[in-house]
Structure 1
Amino acid sequence: MMRVTIFAVACVVGLATGSPVLRKLESGPRFQYEKDATGQNHLVDTWVTLDNMAESARYTPELQNIYHLFTRENPTVSQPLLINNVATLQSSNYKSSRRTIVLLHGWRDSIVSDFNTVIVPSFLEAEDVNVLCVDWSAGAGSINYNTALANTLTSGVAVADFLNWLIGASGSVPVQFHIVGHGLGAHQAGIVGRNVRGDVAYITALDAALIGWINLNDRFQADDAMYTEAIHTNAGVNGYVSDYAQVDFYVNGGESMPGCNSHACDHARAIFYFAESITSGGFRGKLCVNYLAAMLESCNILPGRLNMGGLKSKVG
């Protein structure tokens, strides 16, 4: 599958406690700094310990994940949907004739985060869609980054199970679905896409997390949907550095966003750029030879141009 890289203008955790080490996520330093969704800096342990796995085992996404439905009929107050509860689905404003947007927040985030409060209104303004916000804060809220990372994997499978049920119960089809995730949620979006029975039309990864994912086979893959797109705004720090989708946009070289003075701000900018692209149609990007050229802002050789983000995928 062809991959395209595009440049677009526009607390202490897990310190050694004596718990047995099960595996090493990274080849670099064991302790690295990572920012959570609130912008707080945490020193995270990139080695997985027995304590991490024990904490992760207490998270049951099948029971603890909450699925909030927003539509133009209920744009500000959600309708919770429950797996295997057809009565709740039938009494909701969900319509199988609409496209369905699935939103997956990041580490230490929740249903009331900017990710949801900014993107939900943008989609509902631009199109009559079902917007399904997945609150997996029971898994993402752990201060232990490795625990949240492990929970990302199990939550992804649970969300896919929920969507498989929803598709069967409502008469929807996978090609009506667009999945969007930020940070850890971006990788989870890929996991969801590859576990849905059928081809999801479109997945957007917003500055997918870097730490712990380089050597992890479960990370976002280019073929997780019919069309996959990534927006990099903090590449190499909080965000994944290399290209991983069918089309990758490196805004402003993928780092140091206009108006930002912190990595946390850069990481969050992907949310706001994507939300604006939904209502504006996207920002124009230049075709690059590779991601290094995009990060160096040296993309003047190839003639290709493409809009970043937007409502619909760029295939089909």
Structure 2
Amino acid sequence: MAFRFALVVLATIAAASALPAALDPVIAKLDPEGLRYGYIRDDDGVPHLVDSWVKASDLARNARYNPDTDNEYHLYTRSNPLISQPIVEGNSQTLASSNFSPNKRTIILIHGFLGDILSGFNSVLVPAFLLAGDVNVVVVDWGAGAHWGLNGISSGRTVGRFIQWINTQTGASLSNYHVLGYSVGAHQAGIVGRTLLGQVSYITAMDPADRWLSSQAIQASDAIYTEVIHTNIGNIGMEQPRGDVDIYPNGGVGMPGCATALCDHYRSYFYVGESVATGGFTATQCNNLAEAKAQSCSGPNTIKMGGLLPKTGTTGIYSLSTNASPPFSQG
């Protein structure tokens, strides 16, 4: 069956209700023209049965998620690259006794649907950033709410307040922050930036999930510089440009070496990890989206996709080709 990513964004994990139907009424049918149930895969590729009909019990479950208390924040640095130091907002001792340095760049990583601290997204990007620079890497674990895409909105606002708290405690500056999100987490990265009034220096959105509520989707103004990388357009990921710079590797779909949409989706964070750790990925400017999809772009400008530092002031649509296996960059 066709992959319906609206289920990822809005549906809860399907489960047999303990309540009679009359006591658990259907509130909305999020995919009224499609099948009620379908399988989708989480950040690690595990399939889950989801229900596109939202019931009263689903809303109750959603209400139980409180990002202020349920979100967890794990700090990694070159002094603790393998074992995280948990930081608890409001507990200044956890921050003061950690290896967090306000003078270093701070990387905020936000996983996607049904992810957690152990997601492949984090496993790729944490070591990549620590290899590339002496930085603070903070993994946001919003797994307690990641079964419901809309929780990304409340979680993003909470993460924004968490950053404000860190800066108040330490004197760190938003000019040193890089917020990265994958899939549904890409939109949450935008909410974080919006909460911080667009003053974060750099947001990287990796294949942002399609069919997100349009008013809450990632947008260029969420950061001083917002870069969006599209690897599975027309299926899991959004097709339309959303950032200051939008890059469509291999035309935005059908990544070399991939046979599934999910593999395409994953490649977004593998590409970013490699770009941070080793560079490469020269992208050529396109006149429009059609050129990017056709891989017929001819300039006049080129940029490096991803990377450790923002390309502030750069705008436009870009495309590039990749290899089928690591190293993915062709230069």
Structure 1 length-normalised TM? 0.86
SS of the counterpart of 2:165? Answer: helix
Alignment partner of 1:125 is 2:131: yes
Match of 1:169 in 2: 169
Match of 1:4 in 2: none
Q: Quick one: structure 1 residues 73 and 150, their matched pair in 2 at CA, closer, same or farther if it must change by over 3 Å?
A: same
User: Greater CA deviation, 189-198 or 228-237?
Assistant: 189-198
Which residue identity lines up with residue 306 of structure 1 in the other structure?
I
Match of 1:81 in 2: 87
Q: Quick one: structure 1 residues 50 and 245, their matched pair in 2 at CA, closer, same or farther if it must change by over 3 Å?
A: farther
Shift, 1:34, TM fit: 4.0
SS of the counterpart of 1:76? Answer: strand
SS of the counterpart of 1:223? Answer: helix
Match of 2:204 in 1: 204
CA distance in structure 2 between the aligned counterparts of 1:111 and 1:121, rounded to whole angstroms: 13
1:52 to 40, 53, 58: 58
* Structure with the larger RCO, 1 or 2 (CA within 8 Å, 6+ apart): 1
Shift, 1:197, TM fit: 5.4
Match of 1:189 in 2: 189
Which residue identity lines up with residue 229 of structure 2 in the other structure?
I
CA distance in structure 1 between the aligned counterparts of 2:16 and 2:239, rounded to whole angstroms: 28
Which residue identity lines up with residue 292 of structure 1 in the other structure?
A
SS of the counterpart of 1:188? Answer: helix
Shift, 1:238, TM fit: 1.1
Alignment partner of 1:307 is 2:313: no
SS of the counterpart of 1:208? Answer: coil
Shift, 1:279, TM fit: 1.8
Which residue identity lines up with residue 239 of structure 1 in the other structure?
G
Shift, 1:29, TM fit: 4.0
Shift, 1:39, TM fit: 2.0
User: Greater CA deviation, 17-26 or 63-72?
Assistant: 17-26
> What percentage of residue pairs aligned between the two structures are identical?
46
Alignment partner of 1:69 is 2:67: no
CA distance in structure 1 between the aligned counterparts of 2:310 and 2:67, rounded to whole angstroms: 29
Match of 2:227 in 1: 229
Contact 1:35/1:238 (<8 A) preserved? no
SS of the counterpart of 1:77? Answer: strand
SS of the counterpart of 2:86? Answer: strand
Q: Quick one: structure 1 residues 16 and 271, their matched pair in 2 at CA, closer, same or farther if it must change by over 3 Å?
A: same
Aligned positions of 1:287-302 closer than 5 A: 287-300=285-298, 302=299
Match of 2:114 in 1: 108
CA distance in structure 1 between the aligned counterparts of 2:260 and 2:127, rounded to whole angstroms: 26
CA distance in structure 1 between the aligned counterparts of 2:259 and 2:109, rounded to whole angstroms: 27
Which residue identity lines up with residue 303 of structure 1 in the other structure?
P
Structure 2 length-normalised TM? 0.83
Contact 2:198/2:222 (<8 A) preserved? no
Shift, 1:175, TM fit: 1.0
Contact 1:72/1:124 (<8 A) preserved? yes
Structure 2: runs of 5 or more not aligned:
1-11, 314-331
Match of 2:104 in 1: 98
Q: Quick one: structure 1 residues 34 and 295, their matched pair in 2 at CA, closer, same or farther if it must change by over 3 Å?
A: farther
Contact 2:43/2:121 (<8 A) preserved? no
CA distance in structure 2 between the aligned counterparts of 1:24 and 1:288, rounded to whole angstroms: 39
Match of 1:6 in 2: none
Shift, 1:108, TM fit: 1.3
Shift, 1:107, TM fit: 0.7
Q: Quick one: structure 1 residues 114 and 132, their matched pair in 2 at CA, closer, same or farther if it must change by over 3 Å?
A: same
**What CA deviation, in whole Å up to 9, does each residue of 1:44-101 have, x standing for no partner?**
5556443332211011111111100000111111000010111111111001000100
Aligned length: 296
Contact 1:174/1:198 (<8 A) preserved? no
Contact 1:286/1:299 (<8 A) preserved? yes
CA distance in structure 1 between the aligned counterparts of 2:280 and 2:263, rounded to whole angstroms: 20
Aligned positions of 1:270-281 closer than 5 A: 270-281=268-279
Alignment partner of 1:152 is 2:158: no
RMSD, aligned CA: 2.3
SS of the counterpart of 1:137? Answer: coil
CA distance in structure 2 between the aligned counterparts of 1:44 and 1:159, rounded to whole angstroms: 27
Structure 1: runs of 5 or more not aligned:
1-11, 143-147
